[in-house]
C-alpha cells in the first residue's frame, strides 16, 4: 500500500516510527564517530610522543615547558585535535546525509526527506509538510492560533531568561572582579604564575559572559523552531483551505 493511500492516523504512526528509527541510527553513528575521535587522538598522541625529538627538530620548535622540559610542546596539541576531528566529522556527515535519504521520514506527497530537526518538528506539530504544505495527518497543535500563542510565550520566556542570566552574570562579575583585582595589587594571588592585569580584565568578563551567550543561542533556536511552526501552520492552513474550497466548488458544480 502506498503512503498516500494510508489513513491520517496510520501516516502519523508511520512518521513517528521513522523519526524514532532515524534518531536512533544518528545516535549510533555519533557514538561511533566519538569513539573514532578518541582513538585517533590517542594514536596521534603516541606517534608524537614516540617521534618527539624528530618532530621538534624538524619544525625547529622548543620542546616542553619551563616546568617540564622533556614534555611535548603544547603547540602540537592543536594539530593533534584538528586531525583527530577530521575523519570522525567527515564520517558522521556522510552517514547523516545517507540516513536522511534512506531512514528519515518522508512526505507521502512530495517525497521530500524530513530528517532535519526543524522539518520533522514542524511536521509533527502542524501535520503539514514543510516542503509542499500538504496536510499529511493531524498535528499535535489544534490550530494556527495555538501555534501563535506558543510562539509568543516562547519569545516572552526567552527574553525573561536572558535578562535574568545576564543580570546574574554581571552581578557575579562585579563581585568577583574587584576581589581578584585587590588580590592582584596586594600580590596575594595564588599560584607560581598568576595572571597579568590585562589577562584578568579580558578573561574574567569573557568567562562570565559564556553562560548568557550559551543560553541566548539555545533560546534563539527554540524561538526559531516555534516561529517556523507558526509560519508553517499559516501556510499549510492557507493552502489546505484553498484546496478544500476548490474541491467543494467542483462537487457543487457536479
- Contacts of 205 by beta carbon, 8 Å cutoff, 6+ apart: 173, 177
pLDDT band, residue 209 (cuts 50/70/90): confident
Q: Identify the bridge partners of residue 135 per DSSP, sorted by sequence position.
A: 128
- How far is it, in rounded angstroms, from Cα 157 to Cα 146? 16
Per DSSP, the chain holds a count of helices (H) and strands (E) of: 6, 0
Query: Could you tell me if 120 and 19 are in contact, meaning their C-beta atoms sit under 8 angstroms apart?
Result: yes
Above 90 in pLDDT, residue 176? no
pLDDT band, residue 94 (cuts 50/70/90): very high
Above 60 in pLDDT, residue 43? yes
User: Quick one: how far is CA 121 from the chain centroid?
Assistant: 14
- How far is it, in rounded angstroms, from Cα 155 to Cα 216? 12
Q: What is the pTM of this model?
A: 0.68
**Would you state the pLDDT for residue 35?**
93
Query: Could you tell me if 99 and 29 are in contact, meaning their C-beta atoms sit under 8 angstroms apart?
Result: yes
The 3-state DSSP class for residue 135 equals strand
Q: Within 10 A of 174 (CB to CB), how many other CB atoms are there?
A: 10
Stretch among 66-80, 108-122, 198-212 having the lowest mean pLDDT? 66-80
**Would you state the pLDDT for residue 1?**
46
Above 90 in pLDDT, residue 28? yes
Q: Does residue 58 or residue 176 have the better pLDDT?
A: 176
Q: What CA–CA distances, in Å, run from 227 to 105, 130, 184? A: 22, 13, 48
Above 90 in pLDDT, residue 76? no
pLDDT band, residue 74 (cuts 50/70/90): low
Q: Name which of 85, 117, 133, 149 is nearest 238 in CA terms.
A: 133
pLDDT band, residue 80 (cuts 50/70/90): confident
| Mean pLDDT value across the chain | 80
User: Quick one: how far is CA 174 from the chain centroid?
Assistant: 31
**Would you state the pLDDT for residue 55?**
58
Amino acid at each position: 500500500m502506498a503512503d498516500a493511500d494510508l489513513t491520517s492516523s496510520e501516516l502519523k504512526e508511520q512518521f513517528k516510527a521513522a523519526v524514532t528509527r532515524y534518531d536512533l541510527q544518528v545516535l549510533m553513528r555519533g557514538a561511533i564517530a566519538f569513539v573514532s575521535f578518541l582513538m585517533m587522538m590517542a594514536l596521534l598522541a603516541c606517534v608524537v610522543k614516540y617521534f618527539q625529538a624528530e618532530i621538534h627538530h624538524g619544525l625547529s620548535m622548543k620542546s616542553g615547558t619551563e616546568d617540564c622540559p622533556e614534555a611535548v610542546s603544547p603547540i602540537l596539541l592543536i594539530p593533534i585535535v584538528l586531525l583527530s576531528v577530521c575523519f570522525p566529522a567527515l564520517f558522521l556527515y556522510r552517514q547523516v546525509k545517507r540516513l536522511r535519504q534512506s531512514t528519515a521520514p518522508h512526505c507521502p506527497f512530495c517525497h521530500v526527506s524530513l530528517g532535519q530537526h526543524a522539518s520533522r518538528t514542524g511536521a509533527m506539530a502542524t501535520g503539514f509538510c514543510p516542503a509542499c504544505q500538504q496536510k499529511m495527518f493531524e498535528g499535535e497543535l489544534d490550530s494556527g492560533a495555538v501555534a501563535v500563542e506558543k510562539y509568543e510565550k516562547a519569545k516572552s520566556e526567552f527574553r525573561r531568561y536572558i535578562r535574568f542570566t545576564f543580570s546574574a552574570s554581571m552581578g557575579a562579575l562585579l563581585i568577583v572582579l574587584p576581589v581578584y583585582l585587590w588580590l592582584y595589587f596586594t600580590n596575594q594571588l595564588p599560584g607560581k604564575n598568576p595572571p597579568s592585569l590585562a589577562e584578568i580584565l579580558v578573561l574574567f568578563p569573557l568567562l562570565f559572559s559564556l553562560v548568557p551567550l550559551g543560553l541566548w543561542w539555545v533560546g534563539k533556536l527554540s524561538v526559531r523552531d516555534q516561529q517556523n511552526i507558526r509560519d508553517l501552520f499559516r501556510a499549510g492552513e492557507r493552502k489546505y483551505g484553498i484546496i478544500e474550497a476548490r474541491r467543494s466548488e467542483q462537487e457543487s458544480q457536479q
